[in-house]
Structure 1
Amino acid sequence: MTFEEAKAWRRGSARADHYAKLARPRLGDRERERKRKKVVTPEDMPWEDSPQGSLKHMVNGDMNVRVNSIDAYMQELAPGSRSGKHRHMADEALYVLEGQGYDLHWDVDVALGTTYEWKVAEKPSKWEWEAGDLVWIPPNTVHQHFNASATAPARFISAQNRAFKFLGYDDVEQLENAPEWRPSGGAAPRPTTDR
């Protein structure tokens, strides 16, 4: 029967005010935003000892700051060390502050059906970097950072957009832990260099 949906879509009596909520001024939101920080000091930036390594969060959705679009952290790799190895849906930009090293990137093909099927390349591509460089990591790329120096630390800032999180696609898959990470929940040693 042609156009049966023309009658079917009218069924149901549930009512809502979803659009009205979007259209009316959000005074509470504005007031809450006014109270959030626009300047984040180093003392406001928490350390996290994670499977990815020791991170100093600069901006994160769980912090009381006005930045709503990105997450950013600073990471220091000890001499000769490496980060964890992982994959996430959002692309990522690394700005190298000091040191030199390289990234390994494994391209990932995604087959979409009733489930996601990840096909990780067997061989990675190698991307060398040094202080002042910006490294782009494409969406879904399996990646790992390496400090090429046996005597000096490497330090970088990592930033990702939050759009994927807002859409429910904040999938992160940790494939290998950083060597300094302690799975017992005990704190891994933080970088010893004085900044």
Structure 2
Amino acid sequence: MIRYDEADNQPADRPAGSFYAQDLAAAADLNRERQKPHIIKAQDMVVEDCAQGLLTHIANPTLNALDYDIDAYIQELPPDGRSGKHRHMAEEFIFFLEGRGYSLHWDVDIAEMGETFNWKMDDVPKRFEWEAGDWMFIPVNTAHQHFNLDGDEPARFLSATSRVFKWLGVHDLEQLEAAPTYRGY
């Protein structure tokens, strides 16, 4: 049987909590979040020149708090240009919007596992040709790089990844080579 303290009607010898009040506050916060815009206007998207290349971020929690699980951007490759080379734990979906080119994929395996992972990357990549209207799947942890074959026009593609690996604490993004257009931070 639980003994109650007569002064505050709380069980004796137990700390008082506010868990239910916290749950109510969290539900109210979530309800406020649901009222945020469901459309991100083009002028609100963030353009970034980074080691991977020129990116226009279209899905990111900084842009919209409703976006919990997808990171997406549009990348532009200049004429005869290329992206940076990187790998990440999340699989990636790419839809080619404009242009034609190819992508290189290097399979990556675990070489050693201790407190951190050490990776072994294939020496010879696989080459995949693409053009506007095609889509590409990049498997988990595959190193990859994209090349524009057109010397006159840029190529553009939409890239999307799941944020679940970030939530789990194993995002493990590694930039292996910077895009030639990148000038540093």
Cα deviation for residue 177 of structure 1 reads: 0.5
Alpha-carbon separation, structure 2, partners of 1:30 and 1:111? 46
Equivalent residue number for residue 50 of structure 1: 50
Alpha-carbon separation, structure 2, partners of 1:16 and 1:138? 49
* Residues 59 and 65 in structure 1, CA contact (< 8 A), matched pair in contact too: no
Q: TM-score, normalised by structure 2?
A: 0.84
Percent identity among equivalent residues? 47
For structure 1, the residue ranges without an aligned partner over 5 or more in a row are 1-13, 186-195
* Residues 97 and 158 in structure 2, CA contact (< 8 A), matched pair in contact too: yes
Alpha-carbon separation, structure 2, partners of 1:133 and 1:60? 24
Q: TM-score, normalised by structure 1?
A: 0.80
Alpha-carbon separation, structure 1, partners of 2:122 and 2:16? 48
User: Measured at CA, do residues 37 and 139 of structure 1 come closer, stay the same or move farther in structure 2, by a change above 3 Å?
Assistant: same
Aligned: 1:69 with 2:69:
yes
* Residues 47 and 55 in structure 1, CA contact (< 8 A), matched pair in contact too: yes
Q: Which moved more, 1:22-31 or 1:114-123?
A: 22-31
> Alpha-carbon deviations, 1:130-187, whole Å to 9, x = none?
000011111100000000111121110000011111111111100110011111x3xx
Cα deviation for residue 22 of structure 1 reads: 9.2
Aligned: 1:143 with 2:168:
no
RMSD after superposition:
2.4
Alpha-carbon separation, structure 2, partners of 1:86 and 1:144? 7
- The 4+ residue runs of structure 1 with deviation greater than 4 A are 14-17, 19-25
Cα deviation for residue 112 of structure 1 reads: 5.4
Cα deviation for residue 67 of structure 1 reads: 2.1
Alpha-carbon separation, structure 2, partners of 1:166 and 1:113? 21
* Residues 40 and 64 in structure 2, CA contact (< 8 A), matched pair in contact too: no
How many pairs does the alignment contain?
Answer: 171
Equivalent residue number for residue 99 of structure 1: 99
For structure 2, the residue ranges without an aligned partner over 5 or more in a row are 1-13
The one-letter amino acid of 2:150's match is S
Structure 1 residues 45-194: aligned runs within 5 Å: 45-111=45-111, 113-114=113-114, 115-183=116-184, 185=185
Alpha-carbon separation, structure 2, partners of 1:21 and 1:107? 49
Alpha-carbon separation, structure 2, partners of 1:136 and 1:44? 28
What SS does the corresponding residue of 2:71 show, helix, strand or coil? strand
